[in-house]
């Protein structure tokens, strides 16, 4: 599609919006290998490279493993680095994801969520990014095209913060957010450049005045210290996400936090859900509110690090909670978001009843009637005080 560059309200797909954000950020290096449904991100960005609108060195490689390897090399050399992928592409990067985070390299990756094979499926679920949830990458999830665009810009500041220095992944739903056209408000190029600033790595391989070693052998006498520092940086990233979200709001009028609460103030039941399906859930909330039912929704924006204290506080007054995952962790005990939320609620003096529902795998539609059905289950839990089925699939 043709990319409109006018500031203000304009219609763009999620992929096109991400390409524009990358153009405005103008990273030093982008190494990528195309895969559906994220292909258009790199296709559109490559046109900016070809037209001389960015100074980025675009490296076309033979696989996603090579793409992340090239990103790691460029970042270790002191460059600001970005890429994009989906599904099997992220899976092929697996080995290198851990290396990028372990070497504390602030690489920015757009992950357009798509189901992992087998069987082969090119549509949306969260098995790709959730499979990488413990790889040491900050993970931001996006409900809309606008949020995906804004998240990518903020991710640069978050990852490069001197107290963080970890790679960051911006996630949004394949073929739902990536290909649907939504009205969004673009920032001016200079506004974005000023917000992200110029990247200057404190330590990098090409700094001959202060030689550094990356990825060296680390035996039992020191390895755990490296991981402890990495873990501390990840935990501390939560506060940085909040501060950057507030600064973004002060400058551009759109403030972001750790999660999005919808009509939760007096809610007795709530659905917790990620990404675009939150919009569908909000429609169900509005329908039930018209009927006088006290329901609400919570959509985590930040998944890694997981804001467990804040989410537990937000849900502390709710009587029953359903956590909906667009991925099955294959544990027999709920999806990954469910397990995080349920654990977060454990220390609450008054804990709500919580159950897990798996939905929408491989792009299966999640409709308002599905959300209404879950709220019906929650109402029954409040009435009986019991969860009859801890985990089950819906949208079958």
Question: Do 271 and 347 share a structural domain?
Answer: yes
pLDDT at 4 over 50: no
Which one, of 53, 115, 59, 52, lies nearest residue 89 by Cα?
115
pLDDT at 3 over 80: no
Which one, of 352, 328, 351, lies nearest residue 339 by Cα?
328
Position 8 scores a pLDDT of 72
Position 178 scores a pLDDT of 98
- pLDDT tens-digit map of 249-297: 999 999 999 999 999 999 999 999 999 999 999 999 999 999 999 999 9
**Confidence band of 7 (pLDDT split at 50, 70, 90):** low
Beta bridge mates, 374: none
Residue 108 in tokens: 């920015």
Question: Do 115 and 161 share a structural domain?
Answer: yes
Question: Do 263 and 248 share a structural domain?
Answer: no
Cis peptide before 119 (omega within 30 of 0): yes
| pTM exceeds 0.95, yes or no | yes
- pLDDT tens-digit map of 32-54: 999 999 999 999 999 999 999 99
Question: Do 353 and 222 share a structural domain?
Answer: no
Q: Is residue 2 part of a domain?
A: no
Question: Do 72 and 210 share a structural domain?
Answer: yes
pLDDT at 95 over 50: yes
Domain that holds residue 53: 8-252
Position 246 scores a pLDDT of 98
CA distance 285 to 297: 7
Question: Do 66 and 160 share a structural domain?
Answer: yes
- pLDDT tens-digit map of 326-342: 999 999 999 999 999 99
Q: In CATH, what number is assigned to the domain containing residue 326?
A: 3.40.50.920
- For the chain, give the secondary structure using H, E and C: CCCCCCCEEEEEEHHHHHHHHHHHHCCCEEEECCCCCCHHHHHHHHHHHHCCCCCCEEEECCCHHHHHHHHHHHHHCCCCEEEEECHHHHHHCHHHHHHHHHCCCCCEEEEEECCCCCCCCCCCCCHHHHHCCCCCCEEEECCCHHHHHHHHHHHHHHHHCCCCCCCEEEEEECCCCCCCEEEEEECCHHHHHHHHCCCCCCCCCCCCCCCCCCCCCCCCCCHHHHHHHHHHHHHHHHHHHHHHHHHHHHHHCCCCCCEEEECCCCCCEEEECCCCHHHHHHHHHHHHHHCCCCEEEEEECEEECCCHHHHHHHCCCCCEEEEEECCCCCCCCCCHHHHHHHHHCCCCCCCCEEEEEECCHHHCCCCHHHHHHHHHHHHHHHHHCCCCCCEEECCC
Which one, of 133, 113, 138, lies nearest residue 360 by Cα?
113
Domain boundary among 235, 252, 269: 252
- pLDDT tens-digit map of 136-195: 999 999 999 999 999 999 999 999 999 999 999 999 999 999 999 999 999 999 999 999
pLDDT at 1 over 50: no
> Is residue 178 a contact partner of residue 40, using CB atoms and an 8 Å limit?
yes
Question: Do 285 and 142 share a structural domain?
Answer: no
Domains of the chain: total: 2
Q: Is residue 1 part of a domain?
A: no
Question: Do 240 and 335 share a structural domain?
Answer: no
Q: In CATH, what number is assigned to the domain containing residue 16?
A: 3.40.50.970
Which one, of 145, 147, 148, 168, lies nearest residue 157 by Cα?
168
Q: What does the mean pLDDT of the chain come to? A: 97
How far CA 5 is from CA of 80, 83, 248, in Å, comes to 23, 21, 20
């Amino acid at each position: 599609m043709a990319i409109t560059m006018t500031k203000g309200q304009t219609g763009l797909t999620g992929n096109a919006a991400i390409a524009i954000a990358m153009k405005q950020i103008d990273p030093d290096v982008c190494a990528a290998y195309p895969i559906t449904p994220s292909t258009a991100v790199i296709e559109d960005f490559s046109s900016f490279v070809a037209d001389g609108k960015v100074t980025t060195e675009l490296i076309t490689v033979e696989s996603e493993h090579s793409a992340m390897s090239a990103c790691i090399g460029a970042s270790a050399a002191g460059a600001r680095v970005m890429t994009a992928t989906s599904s099997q592409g992220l899976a092929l990067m697996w080995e290198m994801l851990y290396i990028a985070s372990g070497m504390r390299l602030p690489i920015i990756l757009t992950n357009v969520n798509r189901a992992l094979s087998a069987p082969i499926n090119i549509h949306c679920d969260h098995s790709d990014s959730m499979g990488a949830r413990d790889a040491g990458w900050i993970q931001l999830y996006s409900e809309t095209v606008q949020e995906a665009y804004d998240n990518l810009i903020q991710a640069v500041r978050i990852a490069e913060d001197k107290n963080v220095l970890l790679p960051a992944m911006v996630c949004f739903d394949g073929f739902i957010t990536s290909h649907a056209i939504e009205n969004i408000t673009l920032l001016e190029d200079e506004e974005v450049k000023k917000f992200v600033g110029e990247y200057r790595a404190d330590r990098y391989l090409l700094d001959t005045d202060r030689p550094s070693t990356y990825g060296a052998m680390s035996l039992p006498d020191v390895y755990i210290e490296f991981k402890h520092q990495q873990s501390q940086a990840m935990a501390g990233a939560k506060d940085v996400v909040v501060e950057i979200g507030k600064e973004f709001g002060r400058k551009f009028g759109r403030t972001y936090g750790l999660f999005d609460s919808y009509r939760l103030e007096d809610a007795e039941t709530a659905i917790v859900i990620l990404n675009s399906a939150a919009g569908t859930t909000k429609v169900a909330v509005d329908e039930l509110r018209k009927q006088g039912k006290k329901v609400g929704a919570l959509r985590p924006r930040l998944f890694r690090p997981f804001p467990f204290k804040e989410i537990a506080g937000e849900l502390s007054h709710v009587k029953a909670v359903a956590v909906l995952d667009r991925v099955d962790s294959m544990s027999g005990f709920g999806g990954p978001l469910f397990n995080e939320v349920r654990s977060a609620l454990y220390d609450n003096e008054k804990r709500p009843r919580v159950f897990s529902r798996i939905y929408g795998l491989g792009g299966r539609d999640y409709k308002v009637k599905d959300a209404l059905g879950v709220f019906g289950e929650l109402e029954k839990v409040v009435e009986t005080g019991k969860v009859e089925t801890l985990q089950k699939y819906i949208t079958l």
